[in-house]
Amino acid sequence: MSLLSVQNLDKRFGGLHAVKDVSLDVQKGDILGILGPNGAGKTTLYNLLTGFIKPDNGEVLLEGQSLLGLPPHKVVGLGVARTFQLCRPFVGLSVLENVMVGSLGPRVPAVDLTKRARHLLAQVGLAGKEDSPAELLSYGDQRRLEIARALATEPRLLLLDEPFAGLGSGEIAALSELIRDLHKNQGLTILLIEHKLREFMQLVSHVVAIDFGQVIATGSPSEIVKNPKVIEAYIGRQDADHAA
């Protein structure tokens, strides 16, 4: 059975058909990439999977259990965590406290929460910044904090929304290594949305390409970069920044 099965998912915002009959399966141990131009519906898809918005149609199953109708915290409680395209630290809390809040869910035993949070911060490269107010972190560090906070919920499935956005090349390389480590050594199943194509293609095992809310291609990274529909929809239309 797939870890996550998305079936015929549909979402309209008024006249805009943002997600159109999207089906995909995520197997345990995958790093599945979601590729698509700006406005294709990628973040909307995450919002549908994690209970932030409700679909008009379709089904989302986590190991056979429907996630539809569950609020975000219940989805997290079942082992699906996400990061946000725009960082959302809890303002007024320290970096350490931000991660500890993530540990308050049902999946985490309420022992050694501080120690655990420190360990996660070290893992994402934020050791020494535990006491800083979260909102004072640099943009790159806020992205790391997002990941630490998601990991604190003990996810089985981690949804990353453009984790490399706004980062320099050294930071991207370090974060790529972290994602690889979470997958290989910690057995995490990952969904990755990212416009930085070189790093994206090196990380993912399969790709689902979306355009105008619809799946236009699926395949291995090497198949996807050669797919004419993907070249037309994505690579052909990207601005220089995203193609970099």
Ligand X SMILES: Nc1ncnc2c1ncn2[C@@H]1O[C@H](COP(=O)(O)OP(=O)(O)OP(=O)(O)O)[C@@H](O)[C@H]1O
Binding site for Mg ion (CB under 5 A): 42-43, 85
54 lies in the site for ligand X, by CB under 6 A? no
Binding residues with ligand X: total (CB under 6 A): 12
Q: Which is nearer to ligand X, 95 or 233 (CB)?
A: 233
| Contact window for ligand X (CB under 6 A) among 34-42, 62-70, 105-113, 118-126 | 34-42
36 binds, among Mg ion, ligand X, none (CB under 5 to 8 A by kind): ligand X
16 binds, among Mg ion, ligand X, none (CB under 5 to 8 A by kind): ligand X
Cα–Cα distances (Å) from 69 to 8, 52, 81, in that order, read 16, 10, 17
155 lies in the site for ligand X, by CB under 6 A? no
Three-state DSSP class for 28? Answer: coil
Three-state DSSP class for 26? Answer: strand
Residue 70 has, within 13 A of its CA and on its CB side, a CA count of: 19
Q: Which is nearer to ligand X, 16 or 122 (CB)?
A: 16
Name which position in 8, 29, 39, 220 contacts ligand X (CB under 6 A).
Answer: 39
Exposed, middle or buried by CB within 10 Å (0-12, 13-18, 19+), for 243?
middle
Is the Cβ–Cβ distance between 35 and 209 less than 8 Å? yes
Beta strands in 85-185 (DSSP E): 157-161
Q: Which of residues 6-25 bind ligand X (CB under 6 A)?
A: 13, 16, 18
Exposed, middle or buried by CB within 10 Å (0-12, 13-18, 19+), for 187?
exposed
Query: Least distance from C-beta 233 to Mg ion, angstroms?
Result: 15
Query: Least distance from C-beta 118 to Mg ion, angstroms?
Result: 31
38 lies in the site for ligand X, by CB under 6 A? yes
CB atoms under 10 Å from CB of 231, counted, come to 14
39 binds, among ligand X, Mg ion, none (CB under 5 to 8 A by kind): ligand X
Name which position in 3, 22, 35, 43 contacts ligand X (CB under 6 A).
Answer: 43
